[in-house]
Amino acid sequence: MEKVVLITGVSSGIGRATALRLAGKGYTVYGAARRADTMRGLEGTGIRLITMDITDEASIEAGITTIINTEKRIDILVNNAGYGSFGALEDVPMSEARYQFEVNVFGMARLIQLVLPYMREQGSGKIINISSIAGKLGQPHGAWYHATKYAVEGLSDSLRMELRQFKIPVVLIEPGAIQTEWNGIARDKLLQVSGHTAYKNSVQKHYKMFEKADLSFSSPPDVIAAVIERAVLGQNPKTRYVAGSGAHVLLFLHSILPDKWFDKLVLSQLK
């Protein structure tokens, strides 16, 4: 039986690369994004496209109902939708902070709630949550984004233990620097929110660091798509997969250095 996969955030980057990779392997792939026009490049690829706003309850429920009515099952959920909203904590409006959580955490959690009854009933399933090394360490001007990814880590660790009795694995993917729209959105938001405030000097340097990362040492999205494929195929997948430029090195340094030393290392990149 062909396995049915739902991937959110397929309009670009990791989600798009993963959808194309799994569809090419014969999976029945449903790709979801907030706007239909952003998915036009996926038409004719075999991917079944659905419009889904993961901050809207009715939209999420309609998407899941469409898949269940058509396929009668969902085998794998890849929670990839998310974005980075940067700016000094003092400057970021609370409405933007809440929306960051709605997209990166609560929408993901609601999708999991909706697919789990079907996975339990069919006796199989797999939840793959796209986190980040940002869920393991911090950086200036990214407090809210990092907070959402720390939340994804904690939610996934707890969920993994809850679902062990049903033999439904929960897998975390922790990318490093990746060539996606994320970088451009994050740095533009950073400049917009804090580029003219008390934090403007460090923000200008951080913006340039984002630009350098995008051009010089970030990995293509397919690097992460390949790791997601390994998690999908694995009978006994690991709880975490780390991949992408700088990911292993940064996590290792964070694990061995005292906090203040690691802070200095991160801040040195803004000089």
Reduce the secondary structure of the chain to three states and give it as a string.
Answer: CCCEEEEECCCCHHHHHHHHHHHHCCCEEEEEECCHHHHHHHCCCCCEEEECCCCCHHHHHHHHHHHHHHHCCCCEEEECCCCCCCCCCCCCCHHHHHHHHHHHHHHHHHHHHHHHHHHHHHCCCEEEEECCHHHCCCCCCCHHHHHHHHHHHHHHHHHHHHHHHHCCCEEEEEECEECCHHHHHHHHHHHHHHCCCCCHHHHHHHHHHHHHHHHHCCECHHHHHHHHHHHHHCCCCCCEEEECECHHHHHHHHHHCCHHHHHHHHHHCCC
Query: Are the CB atoms for 142 and 193 separated by under 8 Å?
Result: no
At 114 the pLDDT is 98
121 pLDDT band (50/70/90 cuts)?
Answer: very high
Q: 89: buried, middle or exposed (CB in 10 Å: 19+, 13-18, 0-12)?
A: middle
Q: What is the mean pLDDT of the chain?
A: 94
Share of the chain above pLDDT 90, in %: 85
At 2 the pLDDT is 85
212 pLDDT band (50/70/90 cuts)?
Answer: confident
Average pLDDT over residues 25-53: 93
Domains contained in the chain, number? 1
For 206, the domain range is: 4-268
- At 143-175, the pLDDT tens digits run 999 999 999 999 999 999 999 999 999 999 999
- At 172-187, the pLDDT tens digits run 999 998 888 877 888 8
Average pLDDT over residues 76-103: 96
Residue the block writes with tokens 């700088």: 246
The model carries a pTM of: 0.94
Query: Are the CB atoms for 73 and 48 separated by under 8 Å?
Result: no
145, 199, 207, 241: the active-site residue: 145
Q: Can 99 be counted among the known catalytic residues?
A: no
The CATH number covering residue 186 comes to 3.40.50.720
Instruction: Examine the pLDDT at 215 and tell me if it is beyond 80.
Output: no
Tokens linked to 118 = 């079907």
Task: Round to whole Å and give the CA distance between 141 and 146.
Answer: 10
